[in-house]
Amino acid sequence: MIKLIRRNLLRNKRRTFLTMASLAMALFILSLLGVVNDAMDFADEAASPDRLVVRNAISLTFPLPESYEARLRSIEHVVEVSPQNWFQGVYKDQRPENFFPRFTIDPNTFRTVFYEYEWDEAEWEAFASQRTAFAAGRALAEDQGWAIGDTIGIQGDIYPINVELELRAVFDYEDEAQERQIFFHRRYVEEAMNNPGQNGTYWLLLDDPDATPAVIAAAEAMFENSDNQVRAETAEAFAASFTEMLGNFRLFFLVIGMGIVFSIFSITAVTMAMAARERTTEVSVLRTLGFRRNQVIGIVLGESLTVGVFGSLLGIGIASVLLRGLTPILDQMGFGFGGFGLDPQTAATAVAVGIAIGLLSGVFPAVAAARLKIVDGLRRL
């Protein structure tokens, strides 16, 4: 039977290859969608449960007054408040390898709120005491070839100023993707901008994660009647809001995935039906030679199952290679997810889908071939 299956598959090599290739492409896309979905989950799960973010209720593009910091600190269960601003700007040029997150921070409060970062104490002191200093993640510093004492220039875009910064500290983080960003003093930018006294976000560290609902309610009520109302949310919700800006990605991915599976299933089923119909006489001859119905079914199903297995393995292989090459690029651009990669569960799901498509697409042709009367098949000789 195995020899017959192999010979039948190789009889029309072009059709077999194209069927496998189409199935591989479908499962590659499904694998990619699964990886992106897992990456979203990773980003949400990585957020600390004891931190809140306070931002303008209208949009992140609208800043909040500097005076809000002290008022937020007065809320019960708030241990510390640290302002943070997205500076953006251009380093050298617009090439992806030169794009990385650039934030302005307050060194007096940053380490308390963002306690996961690991610092050399001497380097931290040098960074905190120098207004024009910046701190970089170790992965980014190694990629850029920076060393302590090096100076870089960033051309402003959101902020209409150019800054000259000296590297005074290199930090470590458990997730290497978080090491591909830099921090520098917000006071430096404030002075260059003639002290507008504004911040994009305030990050709150709580002494009790269970107090989150109460702190959120208190923060929003505190500025309810002000010109700059706020929205307080967990760090997880803040991370998720960036994908929500572009709509419901998860539903979008599900619809695309189901559409792909249905389309490829239809193509594979039609292909297998054509192959079985072309061999009507051959099946009748096999039956005449003593092959039983279940053996005929096994041959046809074996062909479709082989197409499904090899197609799924090919799709997973393409996804694995592409993601392995894509991950460093995303990390360098500051879009690393930490867990971004083809995990065993996603790969196993893709293989299972490929096998299911292979079996289901071969069931009807196999049954039709087995039920064919020998006399009817031989009439086509």
pLDDT in tens, 318-359: 877 777 766 555 555 444 444 455 667 777 887 888 788 777
For the ranges 85-94, 322-331, 356-365, the one whose mean pLDDT is highest: 85-94
Nearest of 15, 144, 162 to residue 88 by alpha carbon: 162
Confidence of residue 36 (pLDDT cuts 50, 70, 90): low
What is the distance of C-alpha 241 from the center of its chain? 14
Please provide the average confidence, as pLDDT, over all residues in the chain.
82
For position 334, what pLDDT does the model report?
47
Higher pLDDT, 99 or 206: 206
How do residues 195-247 score in pLDDT, each as one tens digit? Answer: 889 999 999 999 999 999 999 999 999 999 999 999 999 988 887 776 665 55
Q: What integer is the mean pLDDT of 123-144?
A: 96
CA distance 125 to 128: 5
In the structure encoding, which two tokens stand for residue 193, read together? 């901008």
Ranges 71-85, 119-133, 154-168, 362-376: which has the least confidence: 362-376
Confidence of residue 276 (pLDDT cuts 50, 70, 90): low
Ranges 109-118, 190-199, 266-275: which has the least confidence: 266-275
- For residues 193 and 186, the answer to whether their CB atoms sit within 8 Å is no
* Cβ burial, residue 361 (10 Å; 0-12/13-18/19+): buried
Q: What integer is the mean pLDDT of 354-373?
A: 74
CA distance 55 to 61: 9
For position 17, what pLDDT does the model report?
81
Residue 189, phi then psi, degrees to nearest 5: -70, -40
Predicted confidence (pLDDT) at residue 24 exceeds the cutoff of 60: yes
